[in-house]
Structure 1
Amino acid sequence: MAKATKLKLWGVITIIFVGINGYLLLKNNDVIPKSYYIGDMQYAVSGVHTKELDKEGILATSNEMRLAAPVQAIDKVLVKRGDAVTMQQELASYKSDAVEQERKRLEIERKAYETELTELEQILSALERESSSARPSTATDSTTIGDSNIWNLNLSLELGIEQNTPTAEGKAMIRRHIAEIERQLDITDSLLTQLISYQTLATPVDGIVGDIQQDGDTITFVIYPSSKSVATYIDETQWQRVEAGQRAEIIVRAGEEDESTVEGIVTEKQAIPAKESMWYQELLKYEKVDPAKTLYEVQIQPTDLLADYPYGEKVAVTITTDEVFSSFKVHSDWIIHYEVPDIGNTHIYTLGYDGRTRLTPVDVAFTKLGQVDAPVEEVIPEEEMPEEKITEEETEKVPAIQTVDFGTEKEEDIDEELYDVTVFTGLLDENTILLDGTARNIYAPTFRPYPLQTYKWEKVGEVTWRDIVKFIAQP
């Protein structure tokens, strides 16, 4: 009986002991560490990563010019549609008795441009002061900016700037209008000089006579400058990604013997549908535009004149919509979404110097489709690079591991499956080991039955039998 009582007492003590230890171990939601096998992993290698938008485009005019004159003042038209013209070449001659009247008209037009330029510069100056104040306005309001007794411009109607336009975008639009007015002033000055000196209407630039239009009492010469631009068309979603100043690549006659590739810059994106554009109608002929969609025109200025190609030539355009420096890339499902106060909610598992897992906060830049290569060590075939020809400097440059490939897919890889790849930034050291998104306990130990890298015998150097005996014999 006493023995049974003693056993019960020890049983109760054991249960209490186990319970107390369990409580101490698991209190405050503590997690029992586990050991994890490291399977999918890659090294963190920083670089410049981009996201692109591929479109079809067409060679169009750059800053199309329109030179108008009264029909009654013109004595003779000296060019026809399609003619190539050079700077200061005569387009038409004036009647001698109409020169003075045309001079007065051009001077009135020039004064109007000067007035408009002054008004726009005052509005831009007011916006600059507003945006630099302690409580900047978030929108451009044409009903409250400036003195209505001085500024007779209606921003909403004449410049297309709505009252809810962000201030930064409104300033950019005003600057573009200022640049256009300054260009028109230069053209008017050139016309006045030609009129006074030679009594002719002349072109201020090299180019092509795109059209000669007569509307009522006015004749208009449309000049396409020699410096071509590229017009492409984007939908509402793509419109949010494209901005002026973004880099672009233009390929003319892709895949043909005379293929040409030039760089370019996005100079403008339209905020109104593009169906009235002549270049939109031209691109429709290539069946690369869906006429049922609402599309917006984007102008890209090439770094080359592209003089060897005609207007209306179809081109391939790649616009770089995102570019992130010192960034990393992984398969998207490696990014962990877990909210941590004051730190963020996007993280990635990494392997610390002690072989334990960590959850490192990162900032996601963007995702894109890419091909994920297996993160294995790359071996250089001996027949391609004989050992005796490899210098020490070359050996150090041999890549130790492959990561996600963001480059253009090789022709044989086109049919392979693409995955969502995420580009991110964070406080990561180069060659930090990144782990896949499998749920893990933090600071849990890891193991792997073989090294992350395989050492090559040629990297060890010369080892003799004496070195081996010495190594085995050491305590």
Structure 2
Amino acid sequence: MRFIKSRPWTILSIIVIALLIGVNAYFVFKDDSKVARSYFIDEFQIAATGERKETVEKDAIVAPSQTYTISADAKSLSAIDATRGQEVHANDLLATYKTEKVDGELTKLEAERTAYETELSDLESALAEIESEYGGANDPKSSINTDQISEKLNVSVKFELGQQATPSTAVAILNRHIAETNREVALLDARIEQIKAWQGVICPVDGVISKITEEAGTVTFEIYSAEKSMLAYLSEDEWQKVEDGQTVTFKLPHNDGDLSGTVVQKQKIAMNTESLWANELAKTAKLPKPTSYEVILHQDDILDNIPFSTVGKAAITVNEASNAFKVKSAWVKSRKNNKHSIYTIDENGKIRLEDIQVAFKTADSTIFSSYLEAGTPIIANEQRNILARSFRSIPLEKIKWQDFKKIGWKDYVKYIVF
């Protein structure tokens, strides 16, 4: 107290200076301060461009691209020539028909073919007679006698010829009927060869027999195609991101290196409890709950040595950008009209606000394009004065002794004061 009473003006001066310092600090350091100042930066990110991707990572199971079913009347079969798990090829015999059924069909078709061959012979004989008797299409005679041509021609052909006046027209009619008869003979030959070759149930594709069942008097063969696909199951949010045609990278056990492929189809109907491949995958992997949507993925390479039901990993690329930057999403400043910007530090150590074009966002990062130069420091989204100076606890580059030699004592004083 004695000190205060003896030096009142000194104490008053100290109080005034403290008040000035306090008021100045308040206006300098409050959030919306307009007073220029230096900011301490303890965390920053260095801008760097690269190929940026957002992927949906899923467990995927190897399944057939197609599943075929073929049925036959059990009573018409004499034997089943295939077993479950057997590898088959197109036109392989899966089951044999009873002999009497095949023989009856062949007898019927061969009788029809004999009749058409006889008719063809009669037509060709009639054509030869007309060309020999009347000299062909250029003969000057204006009419022909159909009774003298061939007695074996059928009634309809004779009637059609009798309505014509010239040999040239008769030749055209016979040629048309010959062509039609040849076509019928060819069709019958094809059916006869088919019956002879297919004396039973024939496999339509290369693949594997997955199931053989007999129910209600019908034998059914289920065949997995040799061509394989990968199946994965999406949540509702993932379904919104995945599109047909997007690229996929696969990792499979017993296979060296990654495989590439594409999204073939995503289902619009939720997977049900009867889905064979979803239930198979659920034995070793967790499927999205409560709803899953199946997506078909097709690999570029053939999976020859990978069995069905093999479980691997699939990474579906849902977003990508070339020569793009990456920053923490919390560091992006959102403005009106869907515009975005980030705080950076320029080469003079001053803070700037740079506009960016957002390409896409991941769980915790924003991918964007900008006119930023690689190596530019990016700092957190906190209210700062533009062009204010900054200082950092960690240098951007490794400090070299040569740099200290370039800095004089005046530079240190200037930095400390200002």
Q: Work out whether the TM-score is over 0.5.
A: yes
CA distance in 2, matches of 1:452, 1:99: 90
- The corresponding residue for 1:303 is 300
Pick the aligned partner of 2:56 from 53, 56, 66: 53
Q: Distance in 2 between matches of 1:99 and 1:220?
A: 25
Distance in 2 between the 1:318 and 1:265 partners?
10
Q: CA deviation at 1:209?
A: 1.0
- Shift of the alpha carbon at 1:296? 1.4
Q: CA deviation at 1:68?
A: 4.3
AA aligned opposite 1:225: S
Q: In 2, distance between residues paired with 1:455 and 1:439?
A: 30
Give distance in 1, aligned partners of 2:256 and 2:394.
49
Q: Is the 8 A contact 1:266 1:300 kept in 2?
A: yes
Q: Alpha-carbon deviations, 1:2-38, whole Å to 9, x = none?
A: xxxxxxxxxxxxxxxxxxxxxxxxxxx9944333334
Q: How many angstroms does 1:319 deviate by?
A: 2.2
Q: Distance in 2 between matches of 1:449 and 1:280?
A: 54
1:193-220 per-residue CA deviation (whole Å, 9 max, x = no partner) reads: 9836712543343210112345657544
> How large is the Cα RMSD of the aligned pairs?
3.7
Instruction: State the 1:307 CA deviation.
Output: 2.8
**Alignment match, 1:156:** none
CA distance in 1, matches of 2:197, 2:344: 77
| CA distance in structure 1 between the partners assigned to 2:331 and 2:283 by the alignment | 44
Tell me which of 331, 335, 347 is aligned to 1:334.
331
Q: 1:436 to 1:91 in 2, by over 3 A?
A: same
Q: Is the 8 A contact 1:73 1:99 kept in 2?
A: no
The alignment partner of 2:279 has SS state of helix
The alpha carbon displacement at 1:260 in A equals 6.3
What is the CA-CA distance between 1:295 and the residue it aligns to?
1.1
Relative distance call for 1:39 and 1:76 in structure 2 (3 A) is: same
Letter of the aligned partner of 2:283 in structure 1?
K
1:33 alignment partner AA:
A
Distance 1:235 1:42, change over 3 A: closer
Distance 1:336 1:346 in 2: 6
Q: Is it true that 1:439 corresponds to 2:371 in the alignment?
A: no
Distance of 2:378 and 2:94 partners within structure 1: 68
| Alignment match, 1:208 | 208
- Residue of structure 1 aligned with 2:280, choices 272, 275, 282: 282
Matches within 5 A, 1:15-94: 31-69=34-72, 74=77, 76-94=79-97
Q: Which residue of 2 aligns with 1:198?
A: 197
* Partner amino acid, structure 2, of 1:423: I
2:362 maps to: 368
8 Å contact kept, 1:248–1:319 = yes
- Compute the TM-score of the two structures, normalised by the length of structure 2: 0.58
Query: Is 1:325 aligned with 2:322?
Result: yes
8 Å Cα contact 1:228-1:305 kept in structure 2: yes
1:83 CA drift (Å)? 0.9
Contact 1:44 1:328 in 2 (8 A): yes
Residue of structure 2 equivalent to 1:10: none
Structure 1 residue 85, shift from structure 2 partner: 0.8
Aligned partner of 2:236 in structure 1 is 236
Greater displacement, 355-364 / 89-98: 89-98
> Match for 1:264 among 258, 261, 269?
261
Shift of 1:345: 3.0
Rg comparison, structure with higher value: 2
| Cα offset, 1:93, TM superposition | 4.2
Residue 430 in structure 1 maps to residue 374 in structure 2? yes
**In 1, distance between residues paired with 2:258 and 2:394?**
47
- Alpha-carbon distance in structure 2 between the residues aligned to 1:44 and 1:100: 84
Q: Residue type of the partner of 1:335? A: V
More helix by share: 2
Please say if residues 194 and 202 of structure 1, whose CA atoms lie closer than 8 Å, have aligned partners that are also in contact: no
Q: What amino acid does structure 1 have at the position aligned with 2:247?
A: R
Q: Which amino acid aligns with 1:270?
A: Q
Q: Which amino acid aligns with 2:197?
A: Y
Does the 8 Å CA contact 2:60/2:313 hold for their aligned counterparts? yes
Q: Structure 1: how far apart are the matches of 2:354 and 2:319?
A: 24
**Post-superposition offset of 1:261:** 4.0
- SS of the residue corresponding to residue 87 of structure 1 reads coil
Instruction: Read off the aligned partner of 1:313 and give its amino acid letter.
Output: T
